[in-house]
Amino acid sequence: MDRSARAGTIATLLIGLLITFGLPAYADPFQVMQMTLYVVLAIFALSLAFIWGVGGILCFGQGVFFGLGGYTFAICAINFGGSTGAFLMALLIPAAVAAALGYFMFYGRLNDVYLGVVTMVFSLIIWKLINSTAGPEWHIGAARLGGFNGIPSIPPLNWPGRPADALDPLQVFQIAMGLLVIVYLAMKLIKGSRYGRVAIAVRENETRAALLGYDVPFVKLVVFTFGGLVAGMAGALYAANQAFIDPNVFSLEMSAKVLVWVMAGGLSTFVGPIIATIGLQYVALFLADHKLMNSQLVLGAILCVLVLSLPNGIIPALQDAAAWLFGRTRLALAGRAPAAARKTAL
Amino acid sequence: MTGEDRPPLLEATHLTMRFGGVVAVNSVNFRLAEVELRCLIGPNGAGKSTFFKCLTGQYQPSAGTVKFRGRDITGAAPHQIARLGVGIKTQIPNVFNGLDVHENVRLAAARGVKTRRMIDRTIAEVMDRVGIGDLSSRIVGTLAHGQRQLVELAIVLAGEPAIMLLDEPSAGMTNEETARAAAILREINRTTALIVVEHDMQFVKMIAHTITVFHQGAILMEGPVAAVMADPTVRDVYLGRRAA
């Protein structure tokens, strides 16, 4: 990471901390829960931004891992009577499912649009499956799956190991923010690491990466599994925050929305998808609240305008604008300068 | 330099590749010694590229074996073969188009357990050898075709291979670039074995000692440049009457 990129990361972290501890003082509990929802969805968006932006894996069914995280949390929390183990399971199960699905896709050499089709069909299968579990005979332990009615009364998050001490909405918000910051930072570090650079190489040209001796299917599998884990984490927080989950988390709408957020924010950044998620979700809620217009229609229009005018997304466009203003090229901002310096030393 | 007196670096025995009813490579026996330079020529569809892809693991041969320094590598994945020290330059340059030249070469130099200093030294050395130091910070996708060929050559070299397989390295190059590529290959050949699949006979004359001629999936002839070029059968199937 060069200096300007590091400054950007630190600025993002500071803003994150400021929001975590500052903003809730001015908000009532309902607003805090609303903000928690935005943060949770931002974590979900990061999971896709990582596998798509870094790994080049276009997943049309990222909602599956989000939904699995939510359902796993709900079922385990109801059975265990606390959130600690349930939260861990909600990381492990989606990651394991992502690893299994990824194994067949990547070692089966599926690519591009085929990946999209397989992940989309997979999410439809799970959606159908969960929708058809309405009867009382469909239960896991004490948790009834509830079919299209969903699972109500999901226990809230509690202090680790102390099931009786439920967290209040403000604490849940702060934990969600903390996790968002950790996920953001982890992804930044991975992207700049040796492993991340290999993943980017695989995204750029799989054949060349393999001919250099890199194990392409394995690299993609690890990226995809990590994405599944992060999406599962978001799903668990979602279920805990709403105290309710239904099969719509597996719907195409859920998986499509997150694609839109990532695309609008900018595929090549992590901050972009976070900002786009919160912004677009706020607009959607505002429109729905005030019954001004069909929110889907407005979001569709926003997406069209963004794709046509800022094809790289909001944040990369802002970076370009800043580079133009300060008379530097975008390449210099993106960290190409050190390579040029090395050349002259050569 | 036919390689009979040295242990084989690469050896293919009865290598066969079928696509449905088409036999693209038919029971080919091929030996290459350490530090040998071999050119593969032949008309379109003779099976050169298929044979090449069987050696590199991009295709799984239907029958026969491929051995690298006595070790059976038949059917191994491309990345496993690459790790043994087999560097491959493909026909259409396979480079990381979205990354700059330096990062392209770095990715090749950094595979395996290496210190940062070793990696930096390899990069500097390779850039110098291929003569693309001045392109270091350019995005590869924006370069001309001939320059991208050189970048790919640098990438393959940075992996420090024991053998390099090159599929039409001079394709799309200007005359000047072709001469430079030939000089680079001759220089590389001082330490590294080379198999070059090539169409351009001028280029082959510039670099080759021994030539293997493919025709209809089998080896038609193998021998020194002058003998192969003078052979009437070879001239009939491949060179045509125009070439002298």
pTM for the predicted model, two decimal places: 0.87
Q: Are B102 and A205 a contacting pair at CB < 8 A? A: no
Q: Is A109 on the interface with B (CB under 8 A)?
A: no
Give A211's contacts in chain B (Cβ within 8 Å): 56, 78-79, 82, 87-88, 90, 94
Is residue A4 within 8 A of residue A333, CB to CB? The reply is yes
Q: How many CB atoms lie within 10 A of CB A218?
A: 15
Do B122 and B194 lie in a common domain?
no
Judge whether A297 lies within some domain.
yes
Report how far apart the first and last C-alpha atoms of chain A are (Å, whole number).
Answer: 21
- Residue B33: pLDDT over 60: yes
Do A92 and A162 lie in a common domain?
yes
Alpha-carbon separation of residue B211 from A15, A310, B36, B183, B208 (angstroms):
66, 54, 11, 18, 7
Do A239 and A335 lie in a common domain?
no
Give B107's contacts in chain A (Cβ within 8 Å): 197-198, 201, 209, 212
Q: Are A200 and B99 a contacting pair at CB < 8 A? A: yes
How does pLDDT run across B119-173, given as a tens digit for each residue?
999 999 999 988 888 999 999 999 988 888 889 999 999 999 999 999 888 887 8
DSSP-derived secondary structure letter, B164: E
Nearest chain B residue to A345 by CA distance is B124
Judge whether A148 lies within some domain.
yes
* Residue that terminates a domain, selected from B160, B177, B200: B160
Do A245 and A292 lie in a common domain?
no
Do A170 and A314 lie in a common domain?
no
Nearest chain A residue to B158 by CA distance is A212
Is residue A260 within 8 A of residue A52, CB to CB? The reply is no
Nearest chain A residue to B156 by CA distance is A212
Give B108's contacts in chain A (Cβ within 8 Å): 212
Question: DSSP string spanning A226-259?
Answer: HHHHHHHHHHHHHHHHHS-B-GGGGSHHHHHHHH
Do B152 and B172 lie in a common domain?
no
Judge whether A344 lies within some domain.
no
Do A323 and A218 lie in a common domain?
no
Question: DSSP string spanning A262-309?
Answer: HHHH-TT-SHHHHHHHHHHHHHHHHHHHHT-S-HHHHHHHHHHHHHHH
Is residue A211 within 8 A of residue B88, CB to CB? The reply is yes
Q: With bands split at pLDDT 50, 70 and 90, how would you rate the model's confidence at B240?
A: low
Do A117 and A172 lie in a common domain?
yes
Buried b (16+ CB within 10 A) or exposed e, A144-183: bbbbeebbeebbbbbeeeebeebbebbbbbbbbbebbbeb
Among the partner-chain residues A208, A339, A346, the one whose CB lies closest to the CB of B96 is A208
Q: Is A200 on the interface with B (CB under 8 A)?
A: yes
Closest to A73 in 3D by CA, of A247, A228, A232, A250:
A232
Spatial distance between the Cα atoms of A265 and A135, rounded to a whole number of angstroms: 41
Q: What is the pLDDT of residue B143?
A: 92
Closest to A120 in 3D by CA, of A229, A255, A231:
A255
Show the domain range for A283. 252-339
Three-state helix/strand/coil letters over B198-237: CCCHHHHHHHCCEEEEEECCEEEEEEEHHHHHHCHHHHHH
Do A50 and A190 lie in a common domain?
yes
Show the domain range for B40. 1-85+163-244
How does pLDDT run across A231-287, given as a tens digit for each residue?
999 999 999 999 999 999 999 889 989 998 998 888 888 999 999 999 998 888 888
- What residues contact A51, with CB distance under 8 A and at least 6 apart? A57, A59, A62, A223, A224, A226, A227
Q: What is the pLDDT of residue A332?
A: 46
Strands, E assignment, chain B: 8-19, 22-33, 37-41, 63-68, 71-72, 86-89, 163-167, 193-197, 210-215, 218-224
Pairing of strands B37-41, B86-89: unpaired
How does pLDDT run across A300-320, given as a tens digit for each residue?
888 888 888 887 788 888 888
DSSP-derived secondary structure letter, B111: S
Q: What is the pLDDT of residue A328?
A: 55
Spatial distance between the Cα atoms of A50 and A233, rounded to a whole number of angstroms: 14
**Residue B166, SS3?**
strand
Q: How many CB atoms lie within 10 A of CB A209?
A: 27
Among the partner-chain residues A204, A212, A342, the one whose CB lies closest to the CB of B159 is A212
B:42-61 residues touching chain A, CB 8 A cutoff = 56, 58
Q: Are B139 and A331 a contacting pair at CB < 8 A? A: yes
Helices (H) and strands (E) in chain A, counts: 15, 4
- Higher local confidence (pLDDT), A329 or A160: A160
Do B49 and B72 lie in a common domain?
yes
Among the partner-chain residues B94, B97, B111, the one whose CB lies closest to the CB of A214 is B111
Q: What is the pLDDT of residue A2?
A: 66
Q: CATH number for the domain including B213? A: 3.40.50.300
Q: What is the pLDDT of residue B181?
A: 85
Q: What is the pLDDT of residue B5?
A: 55
* Residue that terminates a domain, selected from A195, A228, A250: A250
Q: What is the pLDDT of residue A343?
A: 34
Judge whether A1 lies within some domain.
no
Is residue B198 within 8 A of residue B40, CB to CB? The reply is yes
Among the partner-chain residues A198, A208, A215, the one whose CB lies closest to the CB of B95 is A208
The separation between CA A74 and the C-alpha centre of its own chain, rounded to angstroms, equals 19
Residue B114 amino acid letter: K
Spatial distance between the Cα atoms of A207 and B94, rounded to a whole number of angstroms: 7
Q: How many domains does chain B have?
A: 2
Q: With bands split at pLDDT 50, 70 and 90, how would you rate the model's confidence at B177?
A: confident
Q: Are B88 and A211 a contacting pair at CB < 8 A? A: yes
Q: What is the pLDDT of residue B236?
A: 80
Do B72 and B135 lie in a common domain?
no
Q: What is the pLDDT of residue A345?
A: 32
Nearest chain A residue to B83 by CA distance is A213
Do A244 and A275 lie in a common domain?
no
The separation between CA A67 and the C-alpha centre of its own chain, rounded to angstroms, equals 12
Spatial distance between the Cα atoms of A84 and A76, rounded to a whole number of angstroms: 10
Do A47 and A143 lie in a common domain?
yes
Strands, E assignment, A135-253: 139-140, 143-144, 158-159, 162-166
Give B154's contacts in chain A (Cβ within 8 Å): none
Q: Output the six-digit token pair for A333.
A: 């901002």
Q: How many domains does chain A have?
A: 2
